[in-house]
Structure 1
């Protein structure tokens, strides 16, 4: 990977690890953004990590842009020596696949889709070589996912599938974005899955919906009283398929403030993962099952 440094206007430095997403690029981006934060460089006002990059906002009245660029570049060697290992958590997220709300929405916007005669799931299954939608859904939920970024809209997580590269699901976004997407839709675009934290426009394929609130600016949800956003980069997610009855039960528990997400604390080691993907995933899911 060759890191690319560019200015973003007068107040930003953009640091790109790679043109494509990989866990190695994510870990280097995480290490460098942490190094910038730890360096406490005068003039830095904000650090924004992304999937395989990060951006630093600074006050040019306090530090010259060239000096800021130089200070950040100096930290790259330190980041390269950092361990590719983080203490994190694995979270079970229930998903009602093929739900009536995303289905109604996707049918309203078929003229904006690559396959106007089908559904998002039939299209995704076909282009990824699956015989049935059920086989595709199983591939989506059978392995864990890594949260590589939170943003675009408040609280929305981007999730990267923890499987061999050749097994990763890939689905393009809509030809033209929708003007509506139900809140907490589980979507897919490119190599990323996501959860729409709020209702609004969107272009990702829609596969289902979760009853689990992931963004609460009022912090009234029981498990979001410490912070309004549930996910953070480095989290690991395991989708759990549920039916309508289970969806309704969990939704009521969330509304009644009696729902507690299933979570286990784990350590994720990139080197161990790359040496044994199946074994690493099995240990992650075992930790969740024991929680």
Structure 2
């Protein structure tokens, strides 16, 4: 059985309850976050306005005129305690393929532009991340990043930003990188970055501090009507998704971009049932089964 730490609860003003399960990130902690927040949403509790999952905790917004905060906290505590053991938990999820042009000239140009803010001013972000993770050639690094599926642990910072955490039980296999010494004031839309163990795709152009390793051919945030239709809403991702990166060539990248602009592109998405206990017990073997069932392997 998998038991997780006791959650700490706080009131945030008159409208919020904040729950902190842990101060340290782990995939196990986020499994609990996903389970609890989904159950709170499923129950449609009177007075609850919004439920926001984060990496190691969650926030519940409520209307104090419609529900007693102490009564609501009692219900949330009960749900939270129920999911401290997720041995039998099954999370309905979506597996989504993300086509990425790795080691591209676009992010190389941005690395050069902001080299004075970087730990290694002489090279690209891609080369920096590759080398600090023990790789000497691009292809093995790209294979490592595309081989591991990532769990969408939360959304935030900018609208549409997806925080991807590697589904990897072997800690020494997790790709990691430090942030910039000082943030960039500009980052291209759809740039793929690594910070800590997280991978993100920048939804819009703007500031950022993650190491840039490539460009996603598809957007994660829809600003145009045809993109909304393609994504099925404003955002491609949602917490609990599992994203699988696929390496593409420059020609493939531009082909997909054209299809996105025309509104004809459709992302590869498969509905799956994810069992956290099976993943923790069997690791990559369990993931390979899911990938094959979804047509990703």
**TM-score, reference length from structure 2:** 0.90
Q: Which runs of 5+ in 1 are unaligned?
A: none
Is 1:15–1:53's contact at 8 Å kept on the other side of the alignment?
yes
Aligned residues: 291
SS in 2 for 1:77: helix
Deviations 1:91-124 (A, max 9, x none): 1111001112111111111111121222212221
Verify: 1:75 aligned to 2:83, yes or no: no
Verify: 1:130 aligned to 2:149, yes or no: no
Alignment partner, residue 245 of structure 1 = 251
Deviations 1:172-196 (A, max 9, x none): 1111111111001111111110111
Rounded to whole Å, the distance in 2 between the matches of 1:131 and 1:290 is 27
Verify: 1:58 aligned to 2:62, yes or no: yes
| Bigger Cα displacement from structure 2, 11-20 vs 105-114 | 11-20
Is 1:222–1:258's contact at 8 Å kept on the other side of the alignment?
no
Alignment partner, residue 10 of structure 1 = 14
Rounded to whole Å, the distance in 1 between the matches of 2:204 and 2:131 is 29
SS in 2 for 1:271: helix
Alignment partner, residue 241 of structure 2 = 235
Verify: 1:187 aligned to 2:190, yes or no: no
Please give the residue correspondences for 1:148-167 in structure 2 after superposition, counting only pairs within 5 Å.
148-163=153-168, 164-167=170-173
Verify: 1:35 aligned to 2:62, yes or no: no
Q: Does the C-alpha gap of structure 1 residues 185 and 282 become closer, same or farther in structure 2, counting only changes over 3 Å?
A: same
Q: Which runs of 5+ in 2 are unaligned?
A: none
Q: CA RMSD in A?
A: 2.1
SS in 1 for 2:295: helix
Q: Does the C-alpha gap of structure 1 residues 247 and 40 become closer, same or farther in structure 2, counting only changes over 3 Å?
A: closer
Q: Does the C-alpha gap of structure 1 residues 142 and 224 become closer, same or farther in structure 2, counting only changes over 3 Å?
A: same
Deviations 1:138-164 (A, max 9, x none): 211122111111222111111111222
SS in 2 for 1:129: coil
Alignment partner, residue 48 of structure 1 = 52
Q: Does the C-alpha gap of structure 1 residues 223 and 20 become closer, same or farther in structure 2, counting only changes over 3 Å?
A: farther
Runs of 4+ in 1 over 6 A off after TM superposition: none
